[in-house]
Amino acid sequence: MRATGIFRNVRPSGCIARRLAYASALLLAAAALFAAWGCGAAPEGKEQAEELRSSYREIRAGVAELEGFFPEMEDLLGSRRDEELRTAMQALVDSKRASYGVLLRELDGLRRRCSELESAGGRYSAYAGSLRELLELNREEAQELAGALLVVEDLNRQLPLPQASDVPPFTQRIDDHAERIEELRNSILEGEERAEQAWRELG
């Protein structure tokens, strides 16, 4: 008190008792202010959870980019022929395969970060857990998409197919992947709704 000389400024009095009273009041006020400031700060883990949520959106964008393989492939099938088609298809497969590699690493990295927040056991632990589960589904979807790429590469290697009847086995295999992808996408959508609900409740 003496060091700051604060009380002399408030009330220049020599009365120690009164000074002590002021000091107590000031301390209480400071404590109240400090508590209010503390309430305004982000709860523990919120910032990390927000980062995870934002990274998850990027992952979804990456999966969507990979999904773009199907319409791009259809475009090529409709517009190119023979060697030109084969070259363009291989370029598409190579490009999507590279995207898959990047996506896989990002998925695994984010999954680790989610696990860390989940095991930290705070307010956002359950939310991190739900994101981690969603990432598992996204990983499966990415794997199925990459599986479809493998089939298309098989097909591409054999182009031009000698007979029209050679085509259905390939389309059937691609459809199998597409079907599984559809199932996974539905599960992801449901999971995302639940996760978003949980996020809103966390405020």
Partner 1 sequence: MATSTGMGRGRSREGAGPPRVGPPVGSSARFRAAPAAIAAVAAIALMALALSGCGGSGKGPARDTVNQALAELERARPLLEDLRELNAKINDLGKRFTSTQDTISEGMSLVDLINGDISELEVVLGTARELFGRVAEMREAGDYREYAELAGQAVEKQAAALQTNRELVRTLAELLSLVEVAESGDQLQYYVDELERLAGELERRNVEAARLAGEADSFYSEKKL
Where do contacts with partner 1 occur on this chain (CB under 8 A)?
97, 100-101, 104-105, 108, 139, 143-144, 146-147, 150-151, 153-154, 173, 176-177
Least distance from C-beta 100 to partner 1, angstroms? Answer: 7
Least distance from C-beta 187 to partner 1, angstroms? Answer: 17
Q: Each residue of 8-46: b (16+ CB within 10 Å) or e?
A: eeeeeeeeeeebeebeeeeeeeeeeeeeeeeeeeeeebb
Q: Which CB sits closer to partner 1, 122 or 147?
A: 147
Q: Which CB sits closer to partner 1, 89 or 146?
A: 146
Q: Which CB sits closer to partner 1, 100 or 127?
A: 100
Least distance from C-beta 150 to partner 1, angstroms? Answer: 4
Q: Which CB sits closer to partner 1, 55 or 143?
A: 143
**CB half-sphere exposure, 90, CA atoms < 13 A:** 11
DSSP H helices, 68-166, are 69-79, 82-120, 125-157
CA–CA gap between residue 57 and residue 167 (Å, rounded): 37
Site of tokens 């290697």? 157
Least distance from C-beta 108 to partner 1, angstroms? Answer: 8
Q: Which CB sits closer to partner 1, 7 or 100?
A: 100
Least distance from C-beta 89 to partner 1, angstroms? Answer: 14
Task: Judge contact between 149 and 93, C-beta under 8 A.
Answer: yes
DSSP state of 87: H
